Amino acid sequence: MADWRLLIIIAACWAAIRLAVGETHEPDPFLRRTLHVEPNKHLQHLATISDTEGSLARTFFSPAHRRAAEQIKSWMQDTGMETWIDAVGNVHGRIKASRDGTQAVLLGSHYDTVLDGGAYDGALGIIVGLAAVKGMLLTELVQRGWLDRLPPQPANDMDGDIVIPPTLASSLLTHGSVHLVAFTDEEGVRFQSTFLGSRAVAGTLLKYGMLSSRDRSGNSLEQVLQDEGGVTDPRVAVASLALDPTTISEYVEVHIEQGPVLESRGLPLGVVAGIAGQTRLWVQVNGTQGHAGTVPMRNRRDALVAAAELITAVEALCTLPEGEGGVPEEDNLVCTVGEVKVWPGASNVISGHTGFSVDIRSKTDSVRNDVVRQVLQTVDGTCHRRGVACSVDRKHDAEAVLSDPDVLRNMGAAASLAKPLLLAAFTQEEVQRSSGMLEGLQSVPVLVSGAGHDAMAIAERIPKMGMMFVRCRGGVSHSPLEYVEPEDVTASTAALAVYLWGRLAGSLDAESEAAASEAPVDSGSSKARDEL
């Protein structure tokens, strides 16, 4: 789909909703509830479903995890979806297109959390996905003049959510289906293995041998699926969960940024060019253990000091400016030593053995491999000079995953075109309070994800993938302090609704397309596309 199609659709939407912008501004009650009230209410509600009191924790197959699945399923039903929970606990919602032979846009994120986690990591992508589907359906109803086909709705949001009947929902999707999956486990808290849900859907869970991953009680995933999930043959059941990639047109995931870039630039939304590849090393330094009081300085072969020199060398290597042999900023190279083990670890003993981890990430695989090579050289040189014996173990490698350029471009265009929907969803006061955010939608930066996401697992089978990041306060995540402004939640919902509308609905006939194409288009959006 070309950008122009989105442009005319949104222009027509603007006309259809008949916004009274600038005069006495009244929000459209349906769009307000769907795009703004419901997603923010649902996020708060989901954050109360926890296994622990006073903090948030939902891990694989825990009581709160199962309650959350049921809750999400019921919200999916309100959205007009057919729903089911699969053998590993993924919650599925799908609306089939009214036309045969079309593919589905796959949406997803995860509903498990880390221990003492936040309300937005994972949950945001599910809730925003749901609200965007409902918002798209309502926009299409408005567009067709079909609002009277909705059954009677709760009078206001305190009485209940807007409910769209499945047959009506399906009749609105002429260009493709939509399939939303709330993934059961991404963080891997219980089995120490990430992407459990998305790998099941991608059909790679068995390949990675994840059925034999064990939890802290020593039970394998295979046993747990049998004992707690009532699955007779986990191997067969899991194999059957793989989606056929030919039935999916693209995968789209909305997620909090988990970093500070959007906030520092004052922008609510960004699109993700790719997810960085990663290498994890373990460097072992062996020196000579000795007495802190008796071994003279020049006779020492101190493993800890050699490690310290190496750690700062790694930092220096990865911080070099481009002009001085460093890599360009757009490669997003980051290197971290996060774990050090000192033996014997006493204040009066020269360390005989020190080991440390090195985590190297970059969007560009060749850059990452180059840095790994340089780290190996540095270790060789430094250890030789210091007379200590060193080894480097390459523990883990994951290649970078790049987003699909079309999905990226269309998501950026959708974000920069979301403003009319937001004006229809906000009160005058909210419009004023959000003026900076609304302005910020005209510029959609392209980011790189340093963290892994379900999109990474899905992309292994469905490479046509794209992600949208939402600004979060302080870039903080995996913490109860995680926070996204309600208006930013709504901005991502509106952006995704525009994207889905362009991809799946868009009832415009030739005549209204022609009329709409003459509508003036906000010049800001072409600027946004330049930035993309």
Ligand X SMILES: *[C@@H]1O[C@H](CO)[C@@H](O)[C@H](O)[C@H]1NC(C)=O
Query: Which position among 34, 79, 284, 416 is part of the footprint of ligand X (CB under 6 A)?
Result: 284
CB 167 within 8 A of CB 96: no
| Cβ at position 389, least distance to ligand X in Å | 4
Select 378 or 517, whichever has its Cβ closest to ligand X.
378
The interface partner of residue 461, options being Zn ion, ligand X, none and the CB cut-off 5 to 8 Å by kind, is none
Contacts 24+ apart (CB under 8 A), 159-164: 161/33, 161/38, 161/75, 161/78, 162/30, 162/33, 162/34, 162/38, 162/78, 162/134, 162/138, 163/78, 163/80, 164/78, 164/79, 164/80, 164/134, 164/137, 164/138
Query: Which position among 249, 286, 364, 442 is part of the footprint of ligand X (CB under 6 A)?
Result: 286
| Cβ at position 125, least distance to Zn ion in Å | 8
304 binds ligand X (CB under 6 A): no
CA neighbours closer than 13 Å in the CB half-sphere of residue 55: 11
122 binds Zn ion (CB under 5 A): yes
| Cβ at position 387, least distance to ligand X in Å | 12
312 binds ligand X (CB under 6 A): no
CA distance 285 to 343: 10
Select 121 or 359, whichever has its Cβ closest to Zn ion.
121
| Cβ at position 292, least distance to Zn ion in Å | 45
CB 137 within 8 A of CB 164: yes
The interface partner of residue 389, options being ligand X, Zn ion, none and the CB cut-off 5 to 8 Å by kind, is ligand X
| Cβ at position 369, least distance to ligand X in Å | 23
Which residues sit opposite 334 in a β-bridge? Answer: 361
301 binds ligand X (CB under 6 A): no
Contacts 24+ apart (CB under 8 A), 317-326: 317/371, 317/374, 317/375, 317/378, 318/360, 318/371
Select 175 or 301, whichever has its Cβ closest to ligand X.
301
Which region among 268-276, 384-392, 461-469, 513-521 touches ligand X (by CB under 6 A)?
A: 384-392
Reading the block at residue 30, the tokens are 């349906």
Query: Which position among 390, 437, 494, 498 is part of the footprint of ligand X (CB under 6 A)?
Result: 390
Select 117 or 502, whichever has its Cβ closest to Zn ion.
117
Q: How far is CA 526 from CA 423, 504, 519, in A?
A: 20, 23, 15
x-or-dash string of contact with ligand X, 103-132, rule CB under 6 A: ------------------------------
Which residue is associated with the tokens 């009277």?
148
Largest CA distance in the chain: 92
Which region among 112-120, 320-328, 387-395, 482-490 touches ligand X (by CB under 6 A)?
A: 387-395
Query: Which position among 121, 250, 331, 404 is part of the footprint of Zn ion (CB under 5 A)?
Result: 121
Q: Environment class of residue 346 by beta-carbon count within 10 Å: exposed (0-12), middle (13-18) or buried (19+)?
A: exposed
| Cβ at position 94, least distance to Zn ion in Å | 22
33 binds ligand X (CB under 6 A): no
- In sign, the C-alpha dihedral spanning 366, 368, 374, 380 is negative
Query: Which position among 389, 451, 515, 521 is part of the footprint of ligand X (CB under 6 A)?
Result: 389
Which region among 53-61, 115-123, 155-163, 494-502 touches Zn ion (by CB under 5 A)?
A: 115-123
CB 94 within 8 A of CB 178: yes
CA distance 501 to 495: 10
Number of residues that bind Zn ion (CB under 5 A): 2
Which region among 114-122, 194-202, 311-319, 363-371 touches Zn ion (by CB under 5 A)?
A: 114-122
Select 49 or 438, whichever has its Cβ closest to Zn ion.
49
Report phi then psi at 381, rounded to 5.
Answer: -65, -50
CA distance 69 to 41: 17
CA distance 203 to 206: 7
Question: Site residues for ligand X, window 317-356 (CB under 6 A)?
Answer: 353
Number of residues that bind ligand X (CB under 6 A): 6
Which region among 31-39, 117-125, 368-376, 482-490 touches Zn ion (by CB under 5 A)?
A: 117-125
The interface partner of residue 122, options being Zn ion, ligand X, none and the CB cut-off 5 to 8 Å by kind, is Zn ion
Which residues sit opposite 446 in a β-bridge? Answer: 271
CB atoms within 10 A of CB 463: 14
CA distance 411 to 72: 25
Query: Which position among 391, 427, 432, 435 is part of the footprint of ligand X (CB under 6 A)?
Result: 391
The interface partner of residue 391, options being ligand X, Zn ion, none and the CB cut-off 5 to 8 Å by kind, is ligand X
Give a three-class secondary structure readout of 297-312: HHHCCCHHHHHHHHHH
| Cβ at position 57, least distance to Zn ion in Å | 14
Interacting residues with ligand X (CB under 6 A): 284, 286, 353, 389-391
Interacting residues with Zn ion (CB under 5 A): 121-122
